[in-house]
Amino acid sequence: MHFILWATNLSFVFGLVSSSTIRFPNDEFKTLDSAEKARQPIISIVGGIPAAAGEFPYLTVMRFNGGLRCGGSLVGPSHVLTAAHCLSGLPVSDTRKLSVTANTLTLATDASAVTRSVAKFIIHPNYSTQNNDNDVALLVLSSPINSIEKVSLPNAEEVTTKPTTTTSTSSTKRTTTRTTKRPFFATKTTRRPSTVKTTTKVASATTTRPTVKTSTTRRTPIRATTNPTIKTTVKTMTENPVLKTFDTYTNKSALIAGWGTTTSGGSISQVLLKATVQVLDNTICTKQYGSSMFVGANMLCAAAEGKDTCQGDSGGPLLVDGVQVGITSWGFGCASPNYAGVYTRVTSYVDWISATMASNPSPASG
């Protein structure tokens, strides 16, 4: 079984990958000369059916010199989320050759489609061409697309121990103070009547003073018990971070979509195709690919019998309940019963996506 990245340029049609074809991340789109184009196999959604009008308005076609290069998704008016390997090795000077079209069901472009040129692209700084880890990138459009629906990204559930810590502090402080002080006040009150009634003033002084002196014992536990509790609690409250937790999406049904050929040696499909797959547990993906290739923290895999993403679909979304949880990345073969398709795990990059979008606005939006 061979390693194949799901990216291609569909300016030329050469059918499915032959058994002798091997594609690695660092082979993708170095100069895109005629010889390189001739080596680009073209395959799209395997086992797919046509998508309905308006079903994926945010799904984009990324073109290079007019030919299909990859998919993507509109995550903001001026930003398209895609795979890093779609842009890896592309000279910055070639950015002007990139364009993006959204809200289209066909490669011929619908009347409702919106096209923008690309002002710049940002590849994740830790993208690895060795195992395709951190396979995520953003395109910054030349001007915003405000009329098209944007895809939803995962929302994190915020988890913090601060409420528990606060309760613990309050409870410890009050309990310690009251328990320590009350016995001394009770002792003092009990001794006063017996001293005044039974003894003379001298005796009273003798009896009372030791009581007062031993009250230093009362102060010592108050200081020793209360102060450390306050100091320790304050440190805990300031050092405990707010944690974010995300769904792993294991065993959930997911949608994939893209353009391309549907049969071996067939012609390019002019309509957007979709298929339903299931997100698999990380342990399954690790067994299939090995831990050095499949990085569970940053990747997820999905499969269904006879259905898969393939070359030409790279950068497109994997959707669970309308939320983009994956970016089409790589795999061994297409729709192989022994190897699932691998996707970039979007939940691991929501902060990077948000920060990168904020620091790279569209030139026309400023």
Residue 366 lies in a domain: no
3-state secondary structure of 86: helix
- Please give the sequence-ordered ranges of beta strands (E in DSSP) within the chain, or none if there are none: 3-5, 49-50, 59-64, 67-76, 79-82, 98-102, 114-123, 137-141, 157-159, 243-245, 253-261, 268-279, 299-303, 317-320, 323-332, 341-345
Q: Are residues 186 and 79 in the same domain?
A: no
Q: Are residues 202 and 328 in the same domain?
A: no
| CA gap 133, 24 in Å, rounded | 13
Between β-strands 268-279 and 299-303, what pairing exists: parallel, antiparallel or unpaired?
A: antiparallel
Q: How confident is the model at residue 154 (pLDDT cuts 50, 70, 90)?
A: very high
Compute and round to an integer the Cα radius of gyration of the chain.
33
Residue 20 lies in a domain: yes
- Poorest-confidence range of 14-18, 26-30, 220-224, 295-299? 14-18
Q: How confident is the model at residue 107 (pLDDT cuts 50, 70, 90)?
A: confident
Domain of residue 326, CATH code: 2.40.10.10
Closest CA to 10 of 30, 35, 40, 31: 40
100-106: average pLDDT = 94
Residue 126 lies in a domain: yes
3-state secondary structure of 363: coil
Q: Are residues 307 and 320 in the same domain?
A: yes
Residue 266 lies in a domain: yes
Q: How confident is the model at residue 115 (pLDDT cuts 50, 70, 90)?
A: very high
Q: Are residues 217 and 266 in the same domain?
A: no
Boundary (domain end) residue, out of 240, 272, 287 = 240
**Surface-to-core class of residue 188, CB atoms within 10 Å of its CB (0-12 exposed, 13-18 middle, 19+ buried):** middle
3-state secondary structure of 46: strand
Q: How confident is the model at residue 159 (pLDDT cuts 50, 70, 90)?
A: low
**Surface-to-core class of residue 20, CB atoms within 10 Å of its CB (0-12 exposed, 13-18 middle, 19+ buried):** exposed
Between β-strands 323-332 and 3-5, what pairing exists: parallel, antiparallel or unpaired?
A: antiparallel
Q: How confident is the model at residue 205 (pLDDT cuts 50, 70, 90)?
A: very low
Boundary (domain end) residue, out of 179, 209, 240 = 240
Look at residue 62 in the predicted model and tell me its pLDDT: 95
Q: Are residues 109 and 141 in the same domain?
A: yes
Q: Are residues 133 and 26 in the same domain?
A: yes
Domain count, the chain: 2
Residue 364 lies in a domain: no
Look at residue 187 in the predicted model and tell me its pLDDT: 35
Q: How confident is the model at residue 267 (pLDDT cuts 50, 70, 90)?
A: low
Residue 47 lies in a domain: yes
Tell me the pLDDT of the chain averaged across its residues.
Answer: 74
- Poorest-confidence range of 68-77, 181-190, 299-308? 181-190
Q: Is the pLDDT of residue 172 over 70?
A: no
The CA-atom distances, in angstroms, between 209 and each of 183, 200, 206, 212, 214 are: 18, 14, 6, 5, 8
% pLDDT > 90, the chain: 51
How confident is the model over 333-361, as pLDDT tens digits?
A: 888 899 999 999 999 999 999 999 999 99
Q: Are residues 226 and 253 in the same domain?
A: no
- Please give the sequence-ordered ranges of beta strands (E in DSSP) within 26-136, or none if there are none: 49-50, 59-64, 67-76, 79-82, 98-102, 114-123
Q: Are residues 168 and 58 in the same domain?
A: no
Q: Is the pLDDT of residue 286 over 90?
A: yes
Closest CA to 44 of 75, 16, 85, 84: 16
Q: Are residues 186 and 309 in the same domain?
A: no
Q: Give the other-Cβ count within 10 Å of 209's Cβ.
A: 10
Give the domain extent around 170: 161-240
Residue 285 lies in a domain: yes
Q: Are residues 135 and 14 in the same domain?
A: yes
Look at residue 357 in the predicted model and tell me its pLDDT: 98
Q: Is the CA virtual torsion 360, 132, 155, 272 positive or negative?
A: positive
Residue 83 lies in a domain: yes
Q: Are residues 114 and 215 in the same domain?
A: no
Distance of CA 345 to the CA centre of its chain: 6
Q: Are residues 184 and 235 in the same domain?
A: yes
The CA-atom distances, in angstroms, between 358 and each of 78, 323, 324, 366 are: 10, 21, 19, 12
Boundary (domain end) residue, out of 193, 214, 240 = 240
